[in-house]
């Protein structure tokens, strides 16, 4: 027998659906047996998920997480290669509470894209890489973006209300992701898998919340603000059963409200 697509190639393989002979290049693995390219093609609106998609070789379903990592790493690299520009970015973008009180509210957000030191940006971007894409795929990019930015603003607002000095970093937003996952696994902690992830997440959170006790200059207020925001938003998502693609606008609206409330508190306190 020769392959029906490559007549010059002898083969002992055949499609388990139509019976036509196929070579090793053309054969497609199926749930049962093997198929030719024609029989393995998706039917109607169906889509075939390949191993490359699972490994990440397909189109990313978490583009916002990738963009956020790229922006943060890019800004950090820019501060290294252009120190003068870096100082300007910190001067106009870091959360200096005095400047925020004077009306520069955007610092609550821009500070989330500034980092000091490899350890600082390394941990935050590692956490975003681990916890961000899965959550974005679960709730949708718009809702994920709203949660991330809202947690950053809420964390900055709590630092403004309870802290002193200057703060930078995405920690408030990252703790928002921690809080969102904590709410999710709190509901599934009665299962074996859910309990294991819940315990690991609580341990990770406990370590990070305890760091300010031994490491100076950590804005624990931002951590706490982001954590509470993420937990509350995800809790509302779950309680209101805001699932499925049609619920994406509602999820985004729920996620953006805490950030707007926190911003309002800051503006009211600075007035």
The residues annotated as belonging to the active site are 171, 223
Among 79, 80, 77, smallest CA distance to 91 is for 79
DSSP 8-state class, residue 11 = -
Rounded to whole angstroms, the Cα distance separating 228 from 179 reads 6
Across-strand partners of 167? 95
Bridge pairing between strands 95-96 and 28-29: unpaired
Which single residue is written with the structure tokens 């995405």? 170
Q: Which string of DSSP letters, residue by residue, matches 23-34?
A: -TTT-EE-SSSE
Phi, psi of 108 (to 5 degrees): -60, -30
Q: How far apart are CA 148 and CA 125, in angstroms?
A: 13
Q: Which helix (H) or strand (E) holds 216?
A: none
User: Who's near 30: CB < 8 A, 6+ residues apart?
Assistant: 16, 17, 40
CA within 13 Å, CB half, 224: 15
């Amino acid at each position: 027998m020769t392959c029906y697509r490559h007549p010059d190639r002898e083969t002992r393989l055949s499609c388990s659906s139509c019976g036509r002979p196929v070579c090793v290049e053309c054969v497609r693995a199926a749930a049962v047996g093997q198929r030719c390219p024609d029989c393995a093609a998706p039917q109607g609106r169906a889509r075939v998920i390949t191993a490359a998609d699972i490994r990440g070789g397909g189109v990313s379903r978490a583009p916002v997480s990738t963009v956020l990592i790229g922006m943060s790493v890019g800004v950090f690299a820019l501060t290294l290669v252009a120190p003068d520009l870096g100082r300007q970015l910190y001067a106009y973008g870091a959360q200096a509470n005095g400047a925020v009180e004077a009306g520069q509210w955007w610092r609550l957000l821009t500070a989330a894209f500034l980092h000091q030191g490899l350890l600082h940006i390394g941990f935050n971007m590692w956490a975003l890489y681990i916890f961000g894409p899965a959550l974005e795929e679960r709730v949708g990019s718009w809702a994920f973006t709203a949660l991330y930015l809202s947690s950053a603003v809420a964390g900055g607002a709590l630092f403004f209300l309870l802290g002193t000095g200057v703060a930078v970093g995405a920690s408030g937003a990252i703790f928002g992701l921690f809080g969102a996952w904590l709410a999710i696994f709190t509901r599934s902690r009665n299962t074996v898998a859910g309990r294991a992830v819940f315990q690991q997440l609580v341990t990770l959170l406990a370590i990070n919340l305890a760091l300010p006790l031994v490491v100076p200059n950590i804005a624990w207020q931002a951590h706490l603000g982001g954590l509470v925001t993420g937990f509350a938003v995800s809790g509302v998502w779950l309680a209101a059963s805001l699932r499925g693609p049609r619920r994406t606008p509602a999820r985004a609206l729920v996620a953006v409200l805490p950030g707007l409330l926190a911003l309002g508190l800051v503006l009211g306190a600075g007035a």
